[in-house]
Each structure stands twice: as C-alpha cells, then as structure tokens.
C-alpha cells in the first residue's frame, strides 16, 4: 500500500470529532445517538435526523485496531495491517485494505416494512446496495480491486447484512450515497490522488479562514476542520450551504449560533459566511419571527432565539473583505426589520416598553437561573440585544437614504435602552421582571450581566458595575455561567455553571467596547487556552476545563477563531 505523501492535516480523536467532508450529509463516527458511543465506527447520516446506517468492523487483527484520523485520511491499523478511508467527494468514500479485512454491516440488523436497512446485489453492475428506510437513501458498495462476499442479501426480518472484504489479499471499494439510481461507479483517479485532493481542499479552507494562525494559536487548524467538515450542501429545508452545529446529534442550525459561524468565516470565505447569516431568514414567518432551528427535514418554530442579529451584522460587515452592495443591504434591512418588529409587536405586553421571553429556550440559555421563578420574563439581555438591533436598523436605513425610518428606529432604540436602565437596573445589577405580575427577581446568572454588549452606550457606573460582577464569574478556564459558589451551580448543568463560547464572545466584545480591555484580554486568553487544551465541546466544566456534551461544536470552534484572530491582529498592531 502506497504511503500518501500529502500533508493530511492535524490529527484528532475520532471519539470527539467525526470524520467528514465539506458538503457531505454523512460522517464516519462512533457516535450513533445522543451521548451514545459504539465500539465500531459507523457511517452516520444527518438526513431525516441522525441515523447510523453502516458499521465498519475490521477483521484479521488479533487485538483491537488503532484508529488514526486527520482531515484527509482515516485509518484502522494493527501491526503492518491497515484499512484506509478517504472521501472521494461529498457523497462517496473509498476504502482500501492490506493485512486487514473489513465487514461493512447494516447498523441495524432488523428490517421491517417501515424501518431498517435492506441489502441486495445489483445485477446491473455487480455492486452491493444497502437501502435505508431512515435516510431514504441508498449506499452502493462497488468493488474496485480484490474480491468481496455478501451475507444477508435480500434477507427480511432479523439477519446480519454485510459486505465482507478479506484480510489475506489487498482490496479496495467505493461506497456512494444516492437517491434512486446512478451510473456504475468509475474512479476518477487513484486512492492517493483522492487523499491529495481532500488535503488540498482543506488546506485552502484553512488558509482562507485563518491566514493569521501561528504557533501562538495551535488549535486554529483543528477549529477550521470542525467548521469545514460540519458544512453540508443545500438539501431538504436547507436551501444554502450550511454549517451545522455538529455532525453529532446537534445536527441543526439554530437561529443565533449561525451568527458566530458567519463571523468566523467572514474574513476568508465571505460567500459561505453570508449564507450562514442569511439561512434562518429563509424561513422567516409572516409575523417576522425566525425559526428556532432548521435542518434537513425539519423547521421548528416552537421557540425563537435572541435578536443578536443586529450586533452580528455590524460585526460581519467589519470582517467581510468587501462592502455589501445596495441590494444586499436592502434585503438584510428588510429581513432584520421584520424580525425586530416581531419583538416590538408580539413580545411586548400592552403598556410595556420592554419585550419578554416566553421561556428560557427563547434566550438560548435554556435553564439559566434567570428563569427559575418565572419563565415569561422581561430580561436585561433581551432589551440590550434589541436596542443594538434597533440602532443597527437606524444605520442601515440611513445608508439606504430613508431618513424618516432611520429616525424612527433610532428613537425606538433609545426608548428600549432607557427602559432597560430605568425599569430593570437596581443601582448595582439588573433584574428580570414578569410582565403579568410585575414581580422582579435577581439571579446570579451570567445572563443578567449580558447588557455589557451595549459597550460605550452604557453609563460609566453601570458598565463598571457589570465588569466587576463579570469578573466574579471567572475561573481558571473562563466565564462560568453560574458562579462556583452559587447554590444553583452544577458542573454539568448546561447554563447553570459550564463555560460556553457565545457568552464568552459577546461579553468579551462588549467589555472591549466599554473600555474594560484588561478584563476582556483575560477572558479571551483563558477561553483560547481552554479550547487548545480541551477541544471544541458544546460547553466545558468551569472547574476542570473538561469538554461536556457534544464534543465537536462549530460555534465553539468559531468562538476560538474569532478570539484568536482578534488577538493576532492586536499583537501585530
């Protein structure tokens, strides 16, 4: 077997980060369901949900194989024997083996009229085809060299269904994912050429999104891989190239996480960044609301997410290498105006100046202690985000030569910000208020300190008080969402303790714009060090720094890239 000379990128743990390809809707991973790790690697589809379709079980090894993963090449190894896997495009993988065999099995061994995977040998081209009820796709195995056998072909009910590659002779196969029919597979080049193509594609992506990387940002390439590999081609309800939260079980786009991915991509992949920002707006409803989440076969409106889009658009425009043209400005203005009007018209109780969340899920901080007493509450973070979004609309309207609209948005921004300070500020902190009863409640959540995003728009004494309280949330690894000494703190409590990327990025930016650069520097440095130590998990234990929940989360990778790029620019300056 030829040793591939191309640099295949950083190594990573397949238990944490799935092996996939830019544009693909499937990955190779041991993670087959939420918090469920299998012993073998599976081909896991993200169409129509998350479904393990095929299981890869090496044979011929006296002991367990070692799995090595890089962005371009995945290998099982035992002694001199190995099986290699490479993507030959978004919907095709190639595998080759020498000294190790492989059983390619249906992940589920039971076939019913409405579930499971069926295997048959196709008389048209001699291939073996698995067809999956769960994904609605076929997975064709074409033997390129060597020989293969099949068991369970055309079997119904419970049976092992597998294509078997031998350990005692070299072999190579291709596996394609497709819908109904496809011409017989013909390789466009050698296996090693396929590896070089992937390596070059990924290297080009890294060079575009992280040209600033250095020895001081050692996690930049892996962060870029998390984004590159989690990006899927348009399909189903996803009408644009989309960077999913993960190719584990969090395989959706939520209507605020997309903003952070857009910012991380903006400097070098402005086309992809712009798609990320616009994607949820493609499903904006008649009231102006954005969906809670979008994925291949599902759009959910049961909750919304916070209106950070004005903040994000301002950040995005600073990062894009080109100015938005007038059509793009007008389109963005119209979409964000409708999204803002939703909050003003449908989330403000009669006689109230402040909008409210209906549940913690609306805030993105699902179970934060802010929502312990009441779920339907006016919160300081929401008012701050909406004020920023109104101000951004005023700027956009001015650029579009709509002075009356600009003045109206500016007045609304001032009104919401004034209400935030007069109705929720107590002199040393912000409270949350239930609009139905007027009951107010203080919490110890970091969420209540989020108005720091207003930056220099805050009175100096308010800004200083927020900065002091933010500092009490700092641990060795970053900003705990609930203080360690809080009675509500839980190490794996989701938004009741763990460190999260979006909170870090928003607060770091607000502190910097408010003039608290020293604290912002500390927060940036600790979060970057955390990612370099523990990877790109959904969130992190605030005391130990251990990664929690989904371990390949794109907004975490984006948070690292955003902060690392800004740090490198400051160093150069």
| CATH architecture assignment, domain 201-572 | Alpha/alpha barrel (1.50)
Q: How many angstroms separate the Cα of 250 from the Cα of each of 134, 207, 270, 565?
A: 18, 27, 25, 26
How far is Cα 23 from Cα 275, in angstroms, rounded to an integer? 14
Provide the whole-model pTM: 0.96
Q: What pLDDT was estimated at residue 281?
A: 98
Cβ pair 433, 420 in contact under 8 A = no
Per-residue pLDDT in tens (0 to 9) along the chain, 573 residues: 333 334 567 999 999 999 999 999 999 999 999 999 999 999 999 999 999 999 999 998 666 889 999 999 999 999 989 999 999 999 999 999 999 999 999 999 999 989 999 999 999 999 999 999 999 999 999 999 999 999 999 999 999 999 999 999 999 999 999 999 999 999 999 999 999 999 999 999 999 999 999 999 999 999 999 999 999 999 999 999 999 999 999 999 999 999 999 999 999 999 999 999 999 999 999 999 999 999 999 999 999 999 999 999 999 999 999 999 999 999 999 999 999 999 999 999 999 999 999 999 999 999 999 999 999 999 999 999 999 999 999 999 999 999 999 999 999 999 999 999 999 999 999 999 999 999 999 999 999 999 999 999 999 999 999 999 999 999 999 999 999 999 999 999 999 999 999 999 999 999 999 999 999 999 999 999 999 999 999 999 999 999 999 999 999 999 999 999 999 999 988
Q: What pLDDT was estimated at residue 64?
A: 83
Q: What pLDDT was estimated at residue 63?
A: 66
Q: What pLDDT was estimated at residue 2?
A: 35
Per-residue HEC secondary structure of 150-170 comes to: EECCCCCEECCCEEEECCCCC
Q: What pLDDT was estimated at residue 4?
A: 37
How far is Cα 451 from Cα 402, in angstroms, rounded to an integer? 29
Per-residue HEC secondary structure of 79-113 comes to: CCEEEEEEECCCCEEEEEEECCEEEEEECCCEEEC
* CATH code 1.50.10.10 region(s) in the chain: 201-572
Cβ pair 453, 506 in contact under 8 A = yes
């Amino acid at each position: 077997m030829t040793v591939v000379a191309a640099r295949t990128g950083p190594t990573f743990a397949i238990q944490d980060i799935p092996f996939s390809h830019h544009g693909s809707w499937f990955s190779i991973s041991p993670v087959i369901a939420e918090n469920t790790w299998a012993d073998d690697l599976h081909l896991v589809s993200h169409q129509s949900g998350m479904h393990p379709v095929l299981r890869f079980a090496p044979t011929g090894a006296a002991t367990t194989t070692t799995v090595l993963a890089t962005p371009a090449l995945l290998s099982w190894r035992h002694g001199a024997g190995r099986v290699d896997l490479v993507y030959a495009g978004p919907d095709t993988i190639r595998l080759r083996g020498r000294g190790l065999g492989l059983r390619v099995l249906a992940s589920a061994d039971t076939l019913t009229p409405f579930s499971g995977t069926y295997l048959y040998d196709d008389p048209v081209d001699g291939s073996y085809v698995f067809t999956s009820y769960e994904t609605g796709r076929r997975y064709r195995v074409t033997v390129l060299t060597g020989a293969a056998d099949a068991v369970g072909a055309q079997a119904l009910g419970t049976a092992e269904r597998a294509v078997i590659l031998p350990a005692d002779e070299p072999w190579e196969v291709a596996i394609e994912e497709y819908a109904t029919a496809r011409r017989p597979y013909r390789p466009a080049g050698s296996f090693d050429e396929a590896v070089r193509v992937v390596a070059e594609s990924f290297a080009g992506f890294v060079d575009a999104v992280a040209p600033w990387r250095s020895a001081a940002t050692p996690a930049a390439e892996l962060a870029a891989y998390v984004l590159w590999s989690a990006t899927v081609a348009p399909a189903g309800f996803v009408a644009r190239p989309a960077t999913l939260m993960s190719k584990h079980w969090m395989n959706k786009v939520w209507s605020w996480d997309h903003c952070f991915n857009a910012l991380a991509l903006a400097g070098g992949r402005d086309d992809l960044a712009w798609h990320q920002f616009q994607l949820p707006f493609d499903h904006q409803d008649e009231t102006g609301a954005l969906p809670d989440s979008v994925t291949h076969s599902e759009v959910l409106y049961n909750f919304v997410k916070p209106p950070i889009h004005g903040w994000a658009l301002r950040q995005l425009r600073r990062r894009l290498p080109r100015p938005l043209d007038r059509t793009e400005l007008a389109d963005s203005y119209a979409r964000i105006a409708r999204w803002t009007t939703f909050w003003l018209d449908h989330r403000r109780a009669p006689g109230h100046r402040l909008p409210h969340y209906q549940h913690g899920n609306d805030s993105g901080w699902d179970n934060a202690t802010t929502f312990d007493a009441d779920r339907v509450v006016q919160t300081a973070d929401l008012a701050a985000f909406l004020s920023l979004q109104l101000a951004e609309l005023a700027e956009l309207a001015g650029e579009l030569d709509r002075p009356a609209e600009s003045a109206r948005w500016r007045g609304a921004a001032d009104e919401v910000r004034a209400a935030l300070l007069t109705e929720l500020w107590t002199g040393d902190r912000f409270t949350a208020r239930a609009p139905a009863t007027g009951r107010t409640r203080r919490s110890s959540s970091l969420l209540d300190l989020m108005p720091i995003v207003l930056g220099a728009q805050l009175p100096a004494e308010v800004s200083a008080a927020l900065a002091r309280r933010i500092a009490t949330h700092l641990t060795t690894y970053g900003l705990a969402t609930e203080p360690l000494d809080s009675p509500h703190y839980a190490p794996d409590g989701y938004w009741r303790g763990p460190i999260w990327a979006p909170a870090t990025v928003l607060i770091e930016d607000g502190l910097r714009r408010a003039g608290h650069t020293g604290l912002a520097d500390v927060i940036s440095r600790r979060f970057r060090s955390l990612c370099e130590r523990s990877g790109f998990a959904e969130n992190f234990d605030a005391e130990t720094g251990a990664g929690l929940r989904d371990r390949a989360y794109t907004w975490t990778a984006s948070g690292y890239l955003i902060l690392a790029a800004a740090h490198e620019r400051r160093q150069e300056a």
